[in-house]
Amino acid sequence: MRGVPRRLTRAEARSVRAASGFLLPFLALFLLCFIAPVGYALYESLLKVERTGPLGLGGETKQVWAGLSNYVHALEDDRFTAGFGRVLLFGAVQIPVMIALATGLALLLDAASARWVGFFRTAFFLPYGVPGVIASILWGFLYVPGISPLVEMAHSAGWDVDFLGRGAVLWSIANIVTWQFTGYNMLVLIAQLKAVPGELYEAARIDGASAWQVARHIKLPLIRPALVLTTVFSLIGTLQLFAEPKVLKPLSNSIDSGYTPNLAAYNEAFTSNNQHIAAAEAVLLALVACVLSFGFLRLVGQRGKDGESG
Amino acid sequence: MNEANDLAGGAVADQPTGAAAPGQAPETAPSGARPGAGRRRAARGRAGRGGSEPPLRHRIITVSLLTVAAIYFLTPVYWLVVSSTKSSSDLFGTFGFWFHDPHPLDYLHRVLTYDDGIYVRWFANSLMYAGVGALAATLMSAAAGYALAKYRFPGREGIFNVILAGVLIPGTALALPLYLLFSEIGLANTYWAVLIPSVVSPFGVYLCRIYAAAAVPDSLLEAARIDGAGEARIFSTLGLRLMTPALVTVFLFQFVHIWNNFFLPLVMLSDSDLYPIQLGLTSWQGYADRQPELYQYTVGGAFLSVLPLMVLMGVLQRYWRTGLTEGSVKA
């Protein structure tokens, strides 16, 4: 690199000029919408509001340095930490269930014994077209006693279900998320399955492998990169859980203002008007998301060195 | 058309070659003349599928499992269709999975005209946010991904890694500080507050870079340069054309992402004239306790808003598959 001949520099300069022209619009907005908010959140999270009037009421307010006290406040807030624990529990159960379901459906649709593949694939993927809020409104109606035909049917079968009770509501939310995203994850997995050269299956079949063996020993290892991708995106999505509990909140007493970290930060900012604490909570959320997704990628990266992916 | 195509597509889709185009007649598939497929094929008459036919028992199990899954995924949609034809009192008073005194057109008309047709406005807002946002996002991602794939310059990998890290930052963690930032510069509660963050897609840049690296040959660019074409012209005539499959994927991803985004508009907007449809419907749902007819409008509005996107999903999942494959194969 050091001994680059002089005559190359013109081409290089041209290259740099062109590349920066193409990159500039994106980078400018990336700076505004990603880098700046992260910086601003960090800055805000280190400040607090101090009132200077008599008894700390009214009068002038000014922002003063707070150190890490907002973080301490957030982490000592039982509601906030409980919300974190809740989404982690949610992710530990819902993500494996959803990915397993998506994998199962992808393999079934890819199996030689499947029929009406186009119809089924469309049916499974359809809920992805339903936004989270609408899906929550929709399932909310299916959970509420009085409207829900599900509750009615269960009741007439002598089984009283309460989808919105203290123990159940988290899993009712998990059901909404699973309903919405299984089809999408399935489609990503199918895309990867279709990219596998057909001769591989053919060879295995000639060697006498059963459909189950082909799925277990050939297809599953080959869709590993797609499984990693879908899991990481699901993880990030789970930590951001917001629309579902927000929409179901009026229907269930079991959802409080800090039910998920995101809901806590939102209510801190807009209900309690405490943007500094909200900023600290947003930073904590982003931090946990990054640590978990990088941690997961490292974990599978170490175990999956054999594949040619990456 | 969809139905017939699905049946044909089903037969083609699980051919071992896997690369057959949807709608291609099974007879034309090259796998027809494979040895060892003779016995059962004779019984099937016209068979294009390679390998031996799976036993009936397998087929029954597979299709039963798929049917159970389909019932799960379609039941809420079915409920929505049925319920959009009911009045608020019938929503509470009658069995949810069956019709009762249906007046679909009348009720949907009321949804569209309630409050001076605010619903239509929300719908147009959603279309604008998602359409304009996704288009701008696609073009910017294409340019940035192309630059990162096809030019050498100092700091290239560093920039790319920072953009990649952006994929892993939860959007909602950004939305709150972004709101505070936009309030300072007077952008909060405007169309721009939703539109500007929507056009930044780190994932789009990632996909475009991978795709451009594989699909745009350097030799072609060199040839164009020797012919005297400028860099901008080369990108707009050659680059964009060769990257089209990836661009379709980025556009669709971003369109759905913006259309589904709830947190950002919720944080940014207070004027209901600027609301996208999701935000509008939750506000109706919130008032429904006091104004019971809003229950029915919420259900009808949800039905109307879901309809175009579901049609889009049904049509697009075919095209989308190819785009997704490109992304993951070359990753």
Residues B184 and B284 in one domain: yes
Tell me the three-class secondary structure of B140-153, residue by residue. Answer: HHHHHHHHHHHCCC
Whether A154 and A276 map to the same domain: the answer is yes
> Using an 8 Å Cβ cutoff, are A28 and A36 in contact?
no
What stretches of chain A show up as alpha helix (H) in DSSP? 9-30, 36-45, 69-76, 78-110, 117-125, 132-143, 149-156, 169-194, 198-206, 211-214, 220-222, 224-239, 243-248, 261-270, 275-303
Name the residue among B262, B255, B268, B276 with its Cα closest to residue B141: B255
At residue A61, φ and ψ (nearest 5 deg) are -115, 145
- Give residues 197 to 236 of A whose Cβ lies within 8 Å of B: 197-199, 201-202, 205-206, 211, 225-226, 229, 232, 236
Instruction: Examine residue B58 and state whether it is found in any structural domain, yes or no.
Output: no
Question: Do A148 and A289 fall into the same domain?
Answer: yes
Q: Based on the number of CB atoms within 10 Å of its own CB, is B98 exposed (0-12), middle (13-18) or buried (19 or more)?
A: exposed
* Residue predicted with more confidence, A205 or A68: A68
Residue A89 shares a structural domain with residue A42: no
> How far are the Cα atoms of A81, A155, A266, B75 from residue A70, in angstroms, in the given order?
14, 48, 15, 46
What sign has the CA pseudo-torsion B263, B266, B269, B274?
A: positive
- pTM assigned to the model: 0.81
Average pLDDT over residues A237-257: 90
Residues in chain B closer than 8 A to A269 (CB atoms): 176, 179
From A20, A35, A65, the end of a domain falls on A65
Contact A80, A264 (CB under 8 A): yes
Residue A283 and residue B173: Cβ atoms within 8 Å?
yes
pLDDT at A108: 93
Task: For residue B16, list chain A residues with Cβ-Cβ distance below 8 A.
Answer: 198-199, 201-202
Nearest of A183, A108, A105 to residue B320 by alpha carbon: A183
In this structure, what token pair is assigned to residue A163? 């989808």
Same domain membership, residue A81 and residue A22: no
B261 and B139 co-located in one domain: yes
Distance (Å) from the C-alpha of residue A211 to the closest C-alpha of chain B? 9
Does A130 share its domain with A55?
Answer: no
- By Cβ distance, the residue of B146, B163, B331 closest to A30 is B163
Residues 6+ apart with CB under 8 A from A276: A44, A45, A47, A48, A49, A66, A70
Measured between CA atoms, the residue of chain A closest to residue B57 is A113
Q: Tokens 């608020």 map to which residue? A: B88
Indicate the residue among B102, B124, B158 that finishes a domain: B102
Rounded distance between C-alpha atoms, residue A142 and residue B83, angstroms: 11
- Which amino acid appears at position B230 of this protein? G
Tell me whether residue B14 is in a domain: no
What string of DSSP letters covers A222-276? Answer: HTHHHHHHHHHHHHHHHHT--HHHHHHGGG-TT--TTSSHHHHHHHHHHTS--HH
- C-alpha B6/C-alpha A127 separation (Å) is 19
The answer to whether residues B188 and B83 belong to one domain is no
User: Cα dist. A68→A44, A46, A276, A284, A287 in Å?
Assistant: 11, 6, 11, 12, 15
- Identify the closest residue of chain A to B205 by CA–CA distance: A26
Q: Is the pLDDT of residue A81 over 80?
A: yes
More confident residue, A197 or B42: A197
Whole-number average pLDDT of chain A: 86
Q: What angle do CA B265, B143, B200 make, to 5 degrees?
A: 15
Of B247, B252, B254, the C-alpha closest to B171 is B254
String of DSSP letters for A275-291: HHHHHHHHHHHHHHHHH
Contact A70, A79 (CB under 8 A): no
- For residue A280, what is the domain's CATH number? 1.10.3720.10
Place of tokens 């006498």: A208
Range of the domain at A20: 6-65
**What's the angle, vertex CA A83, arms to CA A79 and CA A88, rounded to 5?**
150
pLDDT of residue A7: 52
Instruction: Name the domain boundary from B78, B102, B126.
Output: B102
pLDDT < 70: residue spans in chain B: 1-53, 315-331
Chain-chain contact of B260 with A226 (C-beta, under 8 angstroms):
no
Task: Give domain status of residue B147, yes or no.
Answer: yes
Tell me which chain A residues have a C-beta less than 8 angstroms from the C-beta of B153: 12, 15-16, 19-20
Question: HSE-up of A247 (CA within 13 Å, CB side)?
Answer: 32
Q: Give the 3-state secondary structure of residue B330.
A: coil
Q: What's the CA gap between A255 and A82, in Å, rounded?
A: 12
CA–CA distance, A146 with A152 (Å, rounded to integer): 8
Contacts of B292 (CB under 8 A, 6+ apart): B88, B89
Q: Are B72 and B78 in contact (CB under 8 A)?
A: no
Residues 6+ apart with CB under 8 A from A60: A51, A52, A53
Q: Which of B18, B54, B171 sits opposite A240 (nearest CB)?
A: B171
- Asked if B170 and A286 come within 8 Å (Cβ–Cβ), the reply is yes
3-state secondary structure of B183: helix
The helix or strand, by DSSP H or E, that contains position B2, with its residue range, turns out to be helix B2-13
Region A247-272 average pLDDT: 89
Domain annotation covers residue B310: yes
A50, A192: one domain? no
Q: In this structure, what is the dihedral angle of CA atoms A291, A293, A296, A298, given to the nearest 10 degrees?
A: -70
Q: Which one has a higher pLDDT value, A229 or A103?
A: A103
Range of the domain at B75: 67-102
**How large is the ipTM?**
0.84
pLDDT at residue A252 greater than cutoff 90: no
Q: Report d(CA B169, CA B268) in Å as an integer.
A: 19
- In which band, very low, low, confident or very high, does the pLDDT at A11 lie, cut at 50, 70 and 90? confident
Q: Pseudo-torsion of CA B14, B16, B22, B26, nearest 10°?
A: -90
> What is the number of structural domains in chain A?
2
Residues B235 and B309 in one domain: yes
pLDDT (0 to 100) of residue B48: 40
Contacts of B125 (CB under 8 A, 6+ apart): B274, B275, B276, B277
Residue A174, domain member (yes or no) = yes
Torsion B208-B211-B212-B213 (CA) sign: positive
Whether residue B165 is found in the same domain as residue B97:
no
Instruction: For residue B144, give the chain A residue with the closest CA.
Output: A23
Instruction: Give the model's pLDDT for residue A212.
Output: 82
Q: Do B176 and A265 touch (CB under 8 A)?
A: yes
Q: What count of other Cβ atoms lies within 10 Å of the Cβ of residue B197?
A: 24
Closest CA to B198 of B171, B166, B231, B234: B171
**Minimum distance, in Å, between the CA of residue B286 and any CA atom of chain A:** 8
Find the CATH number of the domain harbouring B301: 1.10.3720.10
Asked whether the CA dihedral B155, B157, B162, B163 is positive or negative, the reply is positive
* Region A122-146 average pLDDT: 89
Shared domain check, A117 and A58: no
In a domain, A309, yes or no: no
Number of domains in chain B: 2
Query: Is the residue at A71 inside a domain?
Result: no
Residue numbers in A near B254 (CB within 8 A) = none
Nearest CB partner across the interface for B16, out of A201, A265, A310: A201
A44/A89 same-domain check = no
Low-confidence winner among A6-20, A214-228, B317-331 (lowest mean pLDDT): B317-331
Question: What is the reported pLDDT for A310?
Answer: 35
Regarding whether A161 and A88 lie in a shared domain, the answer is yes
Residue A1 lies in a domain: no
Rounded to a whole number of angstroms, the distance from the CA of B220 to the nearest CA of chain A is 16
Residue pair B105/B300 in contact (Cβ under 8 Å)? The answer is: no
The answer as to whether B6 is a domain residue is: no
Q: Are residues B71 and B199 in the same domain?
A: no
Q: Is residue B10 part of a domain?
A: no
Task: Give the nearest partner residue to B169 out of A126, A137, A289, using CB atoms.
Answer: A289
